[in-house]
A and B are shown apart, each in its own frame.
Chain A
Amino acid sequence: MPGPVTLAPVQATSAPARRATLAPLRQAWSRFWFQDWSRLWFQDKSTSPLEIARIGIGAALLLHYGLASPYLFTLWGDDGWMPRALLADDISDPWKQSVFFYFTAPWQWAAFHAFFLFCCAALMLGWRTSWVKWGVLVGNISYDYRNPSIAYGVHAILACLLLILCFAPIGRAMSLDRVREVWSAKRKNLEADPPAFSSPWAFACTRLMQIQMAVLFFFSATDKLRGDDWWSGDAIWKVFVSDDYYNGFLLDLLASQYWLVNVATYGTILIEIAYPFLIWQRRSRPYLLVAAIFLHLQFALLMNLYFFSFVMIMGHMSFVRREWLSALGAWWKRKIGDMEMIYDGTCGFCKRSMAWFLAFDGLRQIRIRDFRTNPSPVVSDEKMLKALYLVLPDGRALPGFEAYRYVVLRVPGLWWQVPFFYVPVFSRLFGHPIYNWIAANRSRL
């Protein structure tokens, strides 16, 4: 029979002994804190997935509220569908705030609406992103709380995604802010190549957006599982019978092939329930992502929920791996091939315009050569005195306007210039003389 257990008094334990006892605990704690926890939340990554969401959400908001402009006072004005008196119950909650609650004159509605649309456009383009994103958030919440009766699912998800975008250090890539940063560096030295932004906080915010999408799908699925229409496999039929989503052709098809209704109903639940669990694994993520995007494309095409579907797809973009984007960029660079722009290094205007041009080349597709210090084996110096040249992988050399025309179609950051360079007849008719005049007078510019 064992004797009584005697506990050594705590004060009797020496400090080194205590440290030795606690060492494994301390090690486990620091491993969790510095390795597991930081791997989960704080990896040093770029903002690329968030930037895609930013561009898409900015564009969607701009279009949506831009189309609402003619109805500004009807939808959100005091003499419109929702007079302020009807909101008495909502306004009584001090945490429900809208800038519209404080407006007294019509010009204030119009001015704020114009400001909000400006912020949406700036968010999409990534101009002064760290400021304008807050304008978009405040505006979006203000519109929703001013007239809750017209807000639906998309407004709910927009509010959630916008707050995460506000937390995040967005505007560091695929943005005019990044263009300004690169342009500023290249003005001092054309060879300068500011490193791409990355931070642990960018990864944490991407993770928050991923969790938001997973939570949304989880509760959407579990709510469906509580309903008889979904259990019996008839829900999709009832959706399309409803006058809001009526589609004669589709209803005829579903009536004659009713199994399609069952497949669509159970398929929707299956995707929504699988998504929050399988989207995290490396192998299953592509399939779940494709399935979720497919689901939302169906909502857009068959139910005309374009705005909702597009915003949801932008939320799913948080699951796009940076490696996929890098591989896509590398594939594009390989497909287009090497491009070398040869310029006159003694011409200040040429260097400034090259810096501006190269700032949009996010994939670094264009190499540069100053023919004054490093003459080209392909283009003679005499030719170079007349115009800038672009040398292609097959050895062709395009001068002046044709060089720019070639590049804008092949560098994604310059696609916004395509309409100017590719208007049939007019672009070349005006482009050549304008370029030639600038080239001839470049020393004076």
Chain B
Amino acid sequence: MWRRLTSKPVRLAFAAMSLLVIWHTLAMAIASAPESMITTSARLLYHPYLTLFRLDNNWGFFAPTVELGGQFRYIVEDAAGQRHTFVPAEKLSRFLPTSIWFKDRYKDILEAIETHGQAAAAAFCLEHAALHPVAITFVELEQKDFSPADRLSGKHPLDPEFVDERTLEAIRCPAQ
């Protein structure tokens, strides 16, 4: 096709296309590359492009280490002082994207209880209004190592011996 590349406008278009593919290819590499003197300098130039188009991603899926999981629970304390434990993830369908969004939400609550706790507690109080809740307590089960031998002896990764339970402070329900 380049036999047709005789006119100046076509040559200019060819040069512009070449510059764009070089620019974008470098952007893809710089966005994912580990930090070094070269990439740090290049990032100064590429930052607007990478950020505006949301290209600034690294691709370390489940890497370098696979995080041990956990489970989010909450306890509803009712007016009579009784405590009801709920595991909200059990209600989620793994076939729907809501499952991932809600699990991310639960992680956010546990990681930043001071930021998200109040709003989350208010939502759970509303959801369980029939129990006449007075407070919500968030609980995190942090998973520990679980070996194939444990499984072969009939254990479950969330059995008490394989988790650390972390109870966060209770948050009072807002006045109805």
Contact = CB atoms under 8 A, between A and B. Distances in A.
Given A35-B2, A223-B64, A252-B151, A159 B17 contact: no
A224 B63 contact: yes
A221 to B, nearest CB: 9
A254 B148 contact: yes
A312 to B, nearest CB: 10
Contacts of A200: 1, 17
Contacts of B129: none
Interface string A200-236: 1100100110011001110110011111111000010
19 contacts: A34-B2, A95-B48, A96-B52, A137-B53, A150-B101, A156-B57, A211-B25, A211-B28, A219-B33, A220-B63, A223-B60, A226-B63, A230-B63, A241-B143, A243-B71, A243-B157, A251-B157, A256-B152, A258-B148
A6 interface: no
A17 interface: no
B66 A239 contact: yes
Interface string B86-107: 0001000011111111011100
Contact of B104 (A41, A152, A254): A152
B101 A75 contact: yes
A37 B52 CA distance: 29
A215 B29 contact: yes
A304 interface: yes
Interface of A: 34-35, 37-38, 41-44, 64, 67-68, 71, 75, 81, 83, 86, 93, 95-97, 137, 140-141, 144-145, 149-150, 152-153, 156-157, 159-160, 163-164, 167, 200-201, 204, 207-208, 211-212, 215-217, 219-220, 223-230, 235, 237-239, 241-246, 251-252, 254-256, 258, 261, 304, 306-307
Nearest to A205: B21
B158 to A, nearest CB: 6
B69 A64 contact: no
A241 B47 CA distance: 38
B40 interface: no
A144 B54 contact: yes
A408 B96 CA distance: 33
B42 interface: no
Contacts of A229: 64-66
Interface in B16-48: 17-18, 20-21, 24-25, 28-29, 32-33, 47-48
